[in-house]
Amino acid sequence: MNDNMIQDTLLVTPALLVPLLPLIGFLINGLFGKFLPKSVTGWIAALAILGSFICSVTLFNGLNSTSSLNIDIFNWIAFSNINITFGFLIDPLTITMLLVVTGIGFLIHLYSIGYMHDDEGFTRFFTYLNLFIFFMLLLVMGNNYLVMFIGWEGVGLCSYLLIGFWFKNESYNNAAKKAFVMNRIGDLGFLLGMFFMLFYFGSIDYSTVANQAQTLAPNSALLITITMLLFVGAMGKSAQLPLFTWLPDAMAGPTPVSALIHAATMVTAGIYMIVRSNILFSLAPTTLTFILIVGVATSVFAAVIGLLQNDIKKVLAYSTVSQLGLMFAALGLGAFSSGMFHVVTHAFFKALLFLGAGSVIHALHGEQDIRKMGGLGKYIKVTYITFLLASLAISGFPFLSGFFSKDEILAHAFEQNKTIWVILSISSFITAFYMFRLVFLTFFGNFRGTEETKKHIHESPITMTLPLIVLCILAVVGGLLGLPEVFHVQHAFSTYLSSVTEGSAQYLVHHEKVSHATEIALMSFAGIGAIVVILFAYNKYVKQNALPADDVELTGLNKVISNKFYVDEIYETVFVKPITVLSDLFLVLVDKLIIDLAVNATAWIVATTGKTMRLMQTGNTGFYVFAMVIGMMVLLIIRLFI
Amino acid sequence: MENTLQAVPQNWYLVLSTLLFCIGIMGVLFRRNAIIILMCIELMLNSVNLLLVSFSAYSGNSDGQVFVFFIMVVAAAEVAVGLALMMSIYRNAASTDINVLNKLKW
Amino acid sequence: MTLLLLLLPLVAALAVLLSGNKMASRVALLFTVAEFGLTVYAYTIFKQQGPEAFVFFHDWISSPKISINLGVDGLSFVMIGLTNFLLPLIVLSGFNREYSNAKTYFSLMLLMQFALIGVFMAYDGLLYYIFWELALLPIYFIALGWGGKNRVPVTLKFFIYTLAGSLLMLFGFIMLYYYNPNASFNITDLYNNPVCSCNQGWLFWMFFLAFAIKIPIVPFHTWQADTYSEAPTQGTMLLSGIMLKMGTYSLIRWLLPILPAGIAEWGPLAITLCVIGIVYASIIAIMQNDIKKLFAYSSVAHVGLIAAGIFALNIEGLQGSVVQMIAHGVNVVGLFFCADIIINRTQTANISSLGGIRNIAPRFNTLFMIVVIASVALPLTNGFIGEFLLLFGVFKYNTWLSVFAGLTIILGAVYMLRMFQNTMLGNTNENTQHFTDLNWSETLVLGIIAFTIVVMGLYPKPIFELVQPSLDIILNKAIAK
């Protein structure tokens, strides 16, 4: 993968500290949290992440974009010819993720100190959050697939714990369980993919796998199998069709969790994994095509559902699914660094959107239905402005971060397949529409809730607004990380990642780059389109004061969309019900009736034989003697004549 | 080696002891009085004794006679124990009919 | 050293019997801890001198030639380690309950320990058989004497069922003796003089049935769920934690190397049975409402995977099976202890009438959670190492089988989380409202278990290194044609 690995001892310490600090934070809060005052536990957790962030920055400064650092810590599973080490690999891709995870992680910790202030599970919350960051860091830092898998499943566990954070509520618990189980389906794919690699390549180190894969014929069955299985893992973790239904349900968790885990970091793990294995995937074009189809389908499908959601967090959740679909589409097009770029910008604005939503919910004391909001812009200014800017960014408003990252993907789509480009453009216009439907319904017009609530609307404390402001700045200027070459600058982001992605370039089909003029045309089209859509939404929801209809009034297609195409119900009937029926059937019919009956029948036969035979014991001495004599005579006859 | 036992042909001993043995068996099989059954067993034992003695005499080997003494001792012991049992059974059941004594069954 | 390791529990059993009911549990704890200490000391010796330091040989019966042939290799050592590690915990878990006739109860446990160590040490077929049967007696009396309402028929079934299996095994051993040119039960004689492959087929079934009933492999599992729910908790822990491992251990020790041709002939069927059993038991567990039965079926699924890994006949499967034997032993003891705590405090084993325990017992919740995630095989817990290697072993054997077996990862999460949600989460109800959090001895037991779970998951290497030489020998015999 990277030839000039350097063993820079100075950087080993910060590299080890990056995951260690959250772990220490987790242990302190987990073991001694109940002896510490609230204010201390929250800050311990936040400072641990800040420490990690500083270490990550140190790594960023210490390593240039062509070098990487490999640290083998100990042999984890090692015997005969299997050798899986527990080790870290720090390269530009890792560092990108580290900065996003720890940076946004810290801001969200900070925000949570305010947001969770009155919650009885305050300490527990930060304990889980630290644990999550720890696992997320393992995921991105591991130097082989198994260490990644530790993080992969670990974040799944934390996601389970945090979705079900308010564990007295049964539906939240169900959502948590659903998330875990759906992730597990993907994890099985990941696991099998690792088995294939371990079996055929003899190793699951990133570098060995990449090298071994290049000795195989491109698009060979083995490569397709491996990549498909890995992608199944990614589908589960990154909520792609058909394993996406857990993510909207996961909004049951506290809002900072939705921001951190279900928008900015964990759900992008699938994209990270594919970019990490970009050589493998680029050698399997069939899989890439499949990823493209799944990504595009998810993007549109989720966006359409997002149009008719009325829960502020659910809208954002479907938007996340849709954006993740877009990222996968980028990967499917072989534009690995563009996908990563969108991961980063998406992390900025989506975390901001969720935190903003959290701030709104905080202000309204738990109200999440946008039909009962409205006119909030007047009361909570900071939240309003930051939320508005984030919405502009996600909608692709010119020169904000989402504009650049999205356009990069759209340009790649245009190069390769015009149909894909059309569909993705439609999807992004839908995104712009429902985002501004959300903004207008929430912040514009008149307040539609009760007077009681209205009196208590208040801006959030500084610990909550500060992260909003910082993220807002990032969401606005984040696009500068990857200014396209049209502006006569080097694409900073893809240059930084080039050492990771260059290995795969030779295996991808090269399409002719669009000319600068076309690219500018495309950008203008997307930008103007977004503005038009936003104006359309303004016309509908502000000018005409349209309100979403109540669920019961919906008919036809609207009803189907509003009910999320009944996907949950279909899964319920197709998978859940049959398994429960099967379970009962196995227990009652097979176990009790067939197997146990066979066992008991054996015992019954023995007992019955005994019962019958004992009847010969009549107690009549004469009979016994008679039998004895007869027996002896029979023996005598046998001896004499036979 | 002439003696009085050999005055009778050996077959006659065989026939006699077989007859005695069969009478004994029949008695054991068909009589219901325990004391008579006991006596019939004695009869069977003695028929065997007779046979053993006669063979011993004809073959000029004393092994058979040694056996006879063993059997006589055992028979004496058996009668002693058997009659004692009969006595206690009679005390309990007021009968020595073996068909009454059928408690020991399934 | 070997004899000391073996006989100390026997001495302890007598000492407990003499100590009186009040002191029984403490004396038992003292002895089991001493035994564990001895095991640790033995480990240092084993590290320095290897298995040679543990050979013990003494003639016993000249015809048929049966000798007291004891030894400890890596595999045995790991199993003995597991036994001696779990016993103190099991004894400690009995501290909070009043048992009638406690001295007999704890004495039987120690007798069981003696027999189990004997099974893992015996290098002579018949001696092994004697210990194998001896192990059955204490557990039978424990279950019969201190079990639940329905204990008499259930324990009888368990006893007769396993005894029937053992009888087949005894017959198998006699036939092995008969076929052996040296006319011996000695394990090296049996290893080095394979039986004519024409006879290995049915001999395989003689042994396999005995082990399959003990493990248990579906469809020989029907004694298990009832026995687990009827036996007292310590009995269940002994049964599920250690005694099941006798079966899997014996597969590795006695079946694989002695009857390679039998394995070649019937192994595919056996592994298929195991894998079917995994999914079958997992699916049943999903709808179980009795917490102990749920754990029982989950146990069937887990040990099914262990057995499948063994029959996969490769080093990954075998290593995985050893690690998973230990891991499952530790975890299942933890699970049943948690079940005991819940049942004892709420008087119900029905998970749908529980709930909300987490609200009032946070410490219990955390420790229970750790045990649960270990048993759904999350990475960095001991369960993961085992399942990863086992599934990989099965994968090397047959890809599709491993896909099917891998469903256990999903189904395991479904039933475990359902159980956890129904018992621990939600709102507290009238059954659970008086639930008190753990006291010191319970915290100690679960704390040690949780600690072991993480340490083993993070650093399983010592186990790999310990068993690798033994497994190499066994595997060479097993796949030699």
Check whether residue A539 and residue A577 sit in a common domain. Answer: no
ipTM confidence score: 0.89
pLDDT in tens, A538-577: 888 777 777 776 666 667 777 777 777 777 787 877 777 8
- The tokens describing C461, both together, are 């290497």
d(CA C9, CA C3): 11
Question: Tokens 């299985």, residue?
Answer: A229
Q: Which residue has the higher pLDDT, C169 or A543?
A: C169
pLDDT in tens, B51-84: 999 888 888 888 889 999 999 999 999 999 999 9
DSSP state of C248: H
Q: State whether residue C313 is helix, strand or coil.
A: coil
* Chains touching B (3+ CB pairs < 8 Å): A
Is residue A61 included in any domain, yes or no?
no
Based on the number of CB atoms within 10 Å of its own CB, is A118 exposed (0-12), middle (13-18) or buried (19 or more)? exposed
Is residue A187 included in any domain, yes or no?
yes
Q: Say if the Cβ atoms of A79 and C406 lie within 8 Å.
A: no
CB A209, CB A280: distance < 8 Å: yes
CB C291, CB C351: distance < 8 Å: yes
* A58: alpha, beta or left? (left if phi > 0; alpha if psi -120 to 50): alpha
The reported pLDDT for the residue numbered C305 is: 92
Q: Which of A511, A545, A579 is the last residue of a domain?
A: A545
pLDDT in tens, C108-145: 999 999 999 999 999 988 999 999 999 999 999 999 88
Q: Is residue A2 over pLDDT 70?
A: no
* Class of the CATH-defined domain B4-95: mainly alpha
Q: Which domain holds residue A296?
A: 155-545
| Domain count of the fold of chain C | 1
Chain A contact set for C459 (CB, 8 A)? 74, 76
Q: Is residue A487 over pLDDT 90?
A: no
Q: List, in sequence order, every residue forming a beta bridge with A82; answer none if it has no partner.
A: A79
Q: Is residue A3 over pLDDT 70?
A: no
Q: Would an 8 Å CB–CB cutoff place A543 in contact with chain C?
A: no
pLDDT in tens, A258-286: 888 888 888 889 999 999 888 888 888 88
Q: Say if the Cβ atoms of A595 and C414 lie within 8 Å.
A: no
C447-450: long-range contacts (C-beta < 8 A, 24 or more apart)?
A: C447/C367, C448/C89, C449/C89, C449/C330, C449/C331, C449/C333, C449/C334, C449/C337, C449/C367, C449/C371, C450/C334, C450/C367, C450/C370, C450/C371
pLDDT in tens, A156-198: 898 888 888 888 888 888 888 888 888 888 899 999 999 999 8
CB C187, CB C69: distance < 8 Å: yes
Check whether residue A578 and residue A513 sit in a common domain. Answer: no
* Beta strand pairing call for C56-61 and C66-70: antiparallel
The reported pLDDT for the residue numbered A259 is: 85
- Per-chain mean pLDDT for chain C: 88
Based on the number of CB atoms within 10 Å of its own CB, is C441 exposed (0-12), middle (13-18) or buried (19 or more)? middle
At residue A1 the predicted structure's pLDDT band, cuts being 50, 70 and 90, is very low
Q: What is the interface size between A and B, counted as CB pairs within 8 Å? A: 31
At residue A4 the predicted structure's pLDDT band, cuts being 50, 70 and 90, is very low
The reported pLDDT for the residue numbered A403 is: 84
d(CA C58, CA C69): 6
CB B17, CB B68: distance < 8 Å: no
| Domain count of the fold of chain A | 2
pLDDT in tens, A330-361: 888 888 888 888 888 888 888 888 888 888 88
Q: List, in sequence order, every residue forming a beta bridge with A5; answer none if it has no partner.
A: A68
pLDDT in tens, A106-163: 988 888 888 888 888 888 888 898 999 999 999 999 888 999 999 999 998 988 888 8
At residue A415 the predicted structure's pLDDT band, cuts being 50, 70 and 90, is confident
- The tokens describing C420, both together, are 């956890």
What distance in Å separates residue C413's CA from the closest CA in chain A? 6
d(CA C372, CA C417): 8
Check whether residue A418 and residue A538 sit in a common domain. Answer: yes
Q: Say if the Cβ atoms of B106 and A629 lie within 8 Å.
A: no
Q: Which domain holds residue C361?
A: 2-479
Angle in degrees, CA C4, C16, C41, rounded to 5: 30
Whole-number percent of chain A with pLDDT over 90: 7
- CB atoms near residue A627 (< 10 Å): 13
Q: Say if the Cβ atoms of C315 and A591 lie within 8 Å.
A: no
570-629 in A: which are within 8 Å (CB) of B? 614-615, 617-622, 625-626, 629
Question: Tokens 């290897």, residue?
Answer: C50
d(CA A515, CA A280): 30
Is residue A295 included in any domain, yes or no?
yes
d(CA C343, CA C336): 10
Check whether residue A492 and residue A609 sit in a common domain. Answer: no
Q: Which residue has the higher pLDDT, A112 or A1?
A: A112
DSSP state of A307: T
Q: Which ranges in B9-62 belong to alpha helices (H)?
A: 10-30, 34-59
What would the mean pLDDT of A523-542 be, rounded to a whole number?
A: 83
Q: Is residue A8 over pLDDT 70?
A: no
Chain A contact set for C379 (CB, 8 A)? 146, 149-150, 152-154
Q: Is residue B1 over pLDDT 60?
A: no
The domain spans of chain B are 4-95
At residue C310 the predicted structure's pLDDT band, cuts being 50, 70 and 90, is very high
Which candidate in C273, C354, C378, C432 is best for mutational testing of the A interface (most A CBs within 10 A)?
Answer: C378
The string of DSSP letters for C96-158 reads TS--TTHHHHHHHHHHHHHHHHHHHHB-BHHHHHHHHHHHHHHHHHHHHHH--TTHHHHHHHH
Give me the numbers of helices (H) and strands (E) for chain C, helices first please. Answer: 20, 2
pLDDT in tens, C392-445: 999 999 889 999 898 888 888 889 988 888 888 888 888 778 888 888 888 898
Angle in degrees, CA C42, C46, C51, rounded to 5: 120
14-33 in B: which are within 8 Å (CB) of A? 25, 28-29, 32
The reported pLDDT for the residue numbered A551 is: 64
Is residue A8 included in any domain, yes or no?
no
What would the mean pLDDT of C228-232 be, rounded to a whole number?
A: 88
Shortest CB distance from A177 goes to which of C395, C421, C427? Answer: C421
